[in-house]
Structure 1
Amino acid sequence: MQRTIEQRYAIKFCVGLGHSGTETLGLIREVFKDESMSQTAVFKWHKLFKDGRESVDDEPRAGRPSTSRTDDNVQRVREVLNSDSRLSVRMIADRIGIDKMTVHTIITENLAMRKICAKLVPKALSYDQKQSRASACEDLLQRVEEDPDFLDNVITGGESWISEYDPETKRQSSESLTAASSRPKKARINKSRVKAMLIVFFDSKGVVHYEFVPEEQAVNGAFYLEVLKRLKGKVSRVRQSIAGNWKLHHDNTPSHTCSKVTDYLTKNAIATIPQPLYSPDLAPACYFLFPKVKSSLKGHHHGTLSAVEEACMRTLKDLPESAYHGAYESWKSRWKKCVDAQGMYFDELYL
């Protein structure tokens, strides 16, 4: 600050001698060198002194109260955040007249708060949809309480697209670097348009049946009915202990709930486990199996659909029985979380 005051006196002296702004700037730089004021500041003060200003001190600033971390200021920041937690530090500082750095310190240290991005959820649930989710989960929890082996004969499944190439996530592409290293760059890469649809059914012991939908084949009611027929035959071969008394869990897509499918399930005495609408967080295929499969394939170019299918099959075979058992245990805990959250989406949508 002292060097700045000295330069202002020097500028005032140059104005008294009749030097222009450019001449004054040259003299300031010659004398003060690297500590010289900026060109803008020199011209500003040259004009002020030329217009008759005498003082070299800054004008007193008005309008802002104390910027210290007083209890009063902490309380004021708390009240503003309580009214709208999405406000930025700058907006809070402008609203209550406190320095931005002080506001940031109050938020992070005094209030122990941090900015959290909104989490994307499948849908903005209505009151009725929340009630439906909670009610379904309460019913399932009651069934498990009455019969601890309730899930032992439940087969769940679904379908999902698997891309020929799916880029790595930021976490997967992270690197261990020294403090002096520059931050690695990751180019934006889109998924391949070449993709295959995988249909898979599994229980707490492992995969029961899977298949890939032929190209150009729509997964409609007629096609899904044939899939269920193949599933039923597979259950008879690989799950003989439950072949006469197994239950099916799948989502509510039209192909799963059409009359052809429901009539077939009823005729063959295959009970279904309810799945609330818009609830991937309550479907093991969505929060467990498909993320596992896709994660193992990320960052690899498979070239052809047959190569994609082979990679999927390897992943399905490599998953241990304990992983499927854990997914079913998580299923029960997710029902409890949904009930506790009164039907709203809880924090972790996927494993």
Structure 2
Amino acid sequence: MNPFASALLAWFDEHGRKDLPWQHPRDAYRVWLSEVMLQQTQVVTVIPYFLRFVATLPTLRDLASAEEDTVLALWSGLGYYRRARFLQRAAQICVDKHDGELPRDFAALAELPGIGRSTAGAILAQAYGLRFPILDGNVKRVLTRHLGIHGHPGQSPVEKVLWQHAEALTPAQRTADYTQAIMDLGATLCVRAKPRCDACPMASDCVAKRDDLTTQLPSAKPTKAVPTRDTVMLILRDAEGRVLLERRGPQGVWSGLWSLPEAGDHDQAWRAAQSMATIDDAQALPSFVHVFSHYRLKVEPLLFDEATARPRIADNSNLRWCAPDERAALGLPAPVRTLLQNL
């Protein structure tokens, strides 16, 4: 075993995380679900979502046969909802083509929706103990600092070099533990800001520590201006306290989720509200900004209280009046759920 892996595993045996819920049992379904949830999300945030998800959908077959609204409701708040749709589609393919199991073959696994090279490697290494490297954000940070690799890790030439190192350093023995160990190192010690180099088992031959580069590595992504978009969200609430929700289309952000009807400005909002309900007056609620990865959304909520539904709403399957106690079973974007809870 190479010195890097030996030192990392020795540290893991003493300090690594061994009680994460997806480790008991550490089967392929639970590893896969955790890996997808952990993309762009920290462990502390993921744990309650993971526990709620597996309590409702404990097996891959359960996920494959679930209603999409159920899956999206369980995912609501984690963001990047396309991950949840890919998760369910992949489960359905596994039922149809792989006897209801995630395949052990790398090529077959990587062909499934939402499973890239690193996620496939994590499943094979952790669930099956097979020697496959991973390269998630934590691992990229550890390797760029330890090896002194400059350039943004998301750029193809840099990523290619990182994959070569990840492959070379992954041991044939204790692969599952090594995979967890290098993720743990990045998540607990080799963190983005103020890494704890004094406690790091790799500090003695870390290039970034030696050359005082921990604040420069990994190299930052080239910046570009993030645009801001404006929208008016219509909160049509009837005398029973129900709110009118609209299922979003298959394209764009929050696709397929239940959300609030939107308009470009207040005049459009009034016209849209009048087309869906008999309304009297409107109350402007405090605006807020929701940040996506590629733009900022400035939301102006407009509350129409005591609204009365127009008959055509009942004929539109993408519109529904929803009572507060019914919202938990629907996939709602997190800011919309919060907005309605605060009414």
What is the TM-score with the length of structure 2 in the denominator?
0.20
Structure whose CA Rg is larger:
1
What is the TM-score with the length of structure 1 in the denominator?
0.20
